[in-house]
Structures are given as C-alpha cells and as structure tokens.
Structure 1
Amino acid sequence: MSELTTIARPYAKAAFDFAVEQSAVDKWNEMLKFMSEVVKNENLQLLLTGSLSAQKIADTVILICGEQLDQYGQNFIRLMAENKRLTVLPTVLKLFNHYMEEYQAISEVEVISAQPLSIEQQNKIVEAMEKRLARKVKLDCNVDSALIAGTIIRTNDFVIDASSRGQLQRLANELQL
C-alpha cells in the first residue's frame, strides 16, 4: 500500500495544486471520483494491464468518462496512461481528498454512541472537538447498542472512549494485573 501511495502522491499533489489555482477543487474531486470508479472496473483493469499503447488506453478511458471530464481531466488521464499509472487512480483520489481536507481545515470525526445523539449533543461534540483540534469538524454519527451507554469519538489517531463497554474493559484489564 505504501508503494501505491508513493506513486500516487505526486499526481494527487499536482492535481490538487492545479485545482486550487483554477478554483475548481470540488470539480476535480468529482472528476477524480468518477475516474477512480471507471478504472476499478474489472474489464478495464485487464485493458490497463494489457499490451495496448498508452494512447489507446487513454482514449478508451476518456471515451468511457465522456462529459464527466474537462480538457484538464483528459490531459491528466493521458499523462497517467503515458506513465502506466492509471491503476493508482483510487489512491490518487484518497490523497487528493486528504489535501482537500487539509486545505479546508476540516477533520472528519466519527462518533459512535449507544443511543442516537440529539442535535444539541452533536453541537456540543462539534464545539469541543473544534477547540481540541483547532479546525472545523465534520461529524459522522453511528449507533452501536453494544456500547451499553456513552460514546466513542475517533479522528485519525485520536480516540476518546467514554463508553460503558470501554470502562468495563479497562476495569477488567486492571483486575487481571
């Protein structure tokens, strides 16, 4: 996976920098999503790894994408095909999204709770996490009744486990020492 990331990073960075320069970050995000889904297709995977010329592969992908791509998106496909890198488009999309979140200073925070959270509770979590992370927060709320009570809050490598299940697990670990 890290090899794919290493290969995809310069493409994602170049696409992102160009998108920012053109004030078209959302448009590029949509184009990359579409391109990524196209190259994930099993039949197209055979074409990408086959012996066709880079020009024919690029033309085929551009034809499939149709009006979803502007001229710059088409050039991006041609460049990646020329370098035999079209298979890493899903990784390019992930990195592009990461750059986009950094640029927009948004962190996605997952909240797992035993019960559905009220709007007021969600707002309090957003407020607290924005202070803690010093950036805007986008909540992804899920319900897991196995927590018994409380919540688990996750973002990147940061976790707050305030669930009853988590407290019971910590207590069990302490008692076994």
Structure 2
Amino acid sequence: MTESSSTVPTVAQRYATALFELAEDAKAIETVEKDLDRLDKMIDESADLKRLIRSPVYSSEEQAKALSAVFSRAEISGLVSNIGGLLARNRRLFVLPDVIRGYRALAAAHRGEVTADVVSAEPLSDAQAAALGDALKESTGKDVKLSRKVDPALIGGLVVRLGSRMIDTSLRTKLNSLKIALKEVG
C-alpha cells in the first residue's frame, strides 16, 4: 500500500485495489481515473448524490438504480459503472469516495507520483497550482499530482495533505489558535 493510500479505510482499499487491477488488465488505468474524477466532481457538487451514497435509508436496489441513471447521464460506463453497482448491491456505497481516493493513490504510485490533497478557500489559479506542485516536488523528490478542492470556510490559506503529513496554513486555524491563546491569557 502506498503512503497516500494508507488513509483509505481497508474495505475501500480492497475495492480500489480490485478496480485498479481490473483497469490494469484492461489497459484502462487512465480512462477509469478520468471517469472517477468526473464522478468525484459530481459527488462534490450534488447534495442529492452525497445523500444517496451516504444514507442507509435507501435500499440497495434504489441505490443501484439511481447510480445507474447517474452513470448513464454522465456517460460513465465499464469498470467504474460495475464497481458502483457492486458497491450498491453489497450495501457499501458509502465507501465510494474512499474507493476513488484509493484508486487515485494506486494510479499515482503506478506512474511514480504522489497525490497531494489541497483544500483552499478560493480556487487556485493554474500558476498557483503549478508553483505549489513544484514546491511539493522539491520537498518529496517525486512528481506530485494535486487533487484540488475549495472550502470557503477556511477564509484564506491552504490545507495540504501529502500522505500522512498535513500542512494547515488556513486563516480559520490561525484564528482558532488565537482564540485559544486569548482565552488562556484572559
């Protein structure tokens, strides 16, 4: 298991590994990764899709049917569609985001890359992302692929996770630290 996939729960890692091995056999590692990236973006942007994935209220049949419709509309087929259906049938759809993260880590390791999860208050420009990637590459000695997300609650700054390391330069964290320090003084 790669360092960056060590944060993926065991059940999800098993599915991610199986998906990666099937993609490798089919010579479709990049195709599957692109489908998973699209799916991940859809999950991030849709509260209904998040609810479908996380909620135990829906039956496995309802989850499978809804997920099939989502995949059809997004033109996601093949291995990603199959793993989604399998997760739904096995009542494990809630691990789908972790399966995506685990697959990305395996694909990155296969290419000799490491993946850094970057959360910023505002979307990073291409120049900022390139500069961050270069700094992380210099630090790790490996090619670094950035997985970018936006969380306005950070107020400003970044949170970067690279394997088991986390660098938090967000204003939210700095303000919380200041609040704690002021409580201790007063």
**Shorter-chain TM-score tier:** 0.5 to 0.7
Q: Following TM superposition, where does structure 1 have runs of at least 4 consecutive aligned residues deviating by more than 6 angstroms?
A: none
Root-mean-square deviation over aligned CA pairs: 3.9
- The answer to whether the Cα contact below 8 Å between 1:39 and 1:87 also exists between their aligned partners in 2 is no
Q: What displacement does 1:29 show? A: 0.8
- The answer to whether the Cα contact below 8 Å between 2:105 and 2:114 also exists between their aligned partners in 1 is no
- The answer to whether the Cα contact below 8 Å between 1:35 and 1:89 also exists between their aligned partners in 2 is no
Of 82, 86, 98, which residue of structure 1 is paired with 2:105?
98
Over 3 Å counting, the alpha-carbon distance change for 1:26 and 1:156 in structure 2 is same
Write out per-residue CA displacement over residues 95-153 of structure 1, whole angstroms, 9 at most, x where no aligned residue.
111101111112458xxxxxx99xxxx99x96xx59x84xx52487xxxxxxxxxxxxx
Counterpart of 2:82?
A: 75
| Aligned residue type for 1:64 | V
| Aligned residue type for 1:58 | A
- The answer to whether the Cα contact below 8 Å between 2:64 and 2:85 also exists between their aligned partners in 1 is yes
Over 3 Å counting, the alpha-carbon distance change for 1:83 and 1:157 in structure 2 is closer
Counterpart of 1:148?
A: none
Overall identity of the aligned pairs, in %: 20
- Size of the aligned set, in residue pairs, is 132
| Aligned residue type for 1:42 | A
| Aligned residue type for 1:65 | F
| Aligned residue type for 2:21 | D
Of 12, 20, 23, which residue of structure 2 is paired with 1:8?
12
SS at match of 1:69: coil
Counterpart of 2:29?
A: 25
Of 55, 61, 72, which residue of structure 1 is paired with 2:61?
55
Name the larger-Rg structure. 1
| Aligned residue type for 2:71 | C
Greater RCO (Cα-Cα under 8 Å, separation 6 or more): 2
| Aligned residue type for 1:63 | A
| Mapped partners of 2:83, 2:36: distance in 1 | 10
| Mapped partners of 2:30, 2:63: distance in 1 | 26
Over 3 Å counting, the alpha-carbon distance change for 1:37 and 1:83 in structure 2 is farther
Over 3 Å counting, the alpha-carbon distance change for 1:102 and 1:42 in structure 2 is same
| Mapped partners of 2:34, 2:64: distance in 1 | 19
| Aligned residue type for 2:32 | W
| Mapped partners of 1:46, 1:103: distance in 2 | 32
Over 3 Å counting, the alpha-carbon distance change for 1:105 and 1:82 in structure 2 is same
Q: What displacement does 1:73 show? A: 2.5
Counterpart of 2:70?
A: 64
- The answer to whether the Cα contact below 8 Å between 2:33 and 2:103 also exists between their aligned partners in 1 is yes
- The answer to whether the Cα contact below 8 Å between 1:57 and 1:81 also exists between their aligned partners in 2 is yes
Q: Which runs of 5+ in 2 are unaligned?
A: 1-5, 117-126, 147-160, 166-186
TM-score when scaled to structure 1? 0.57
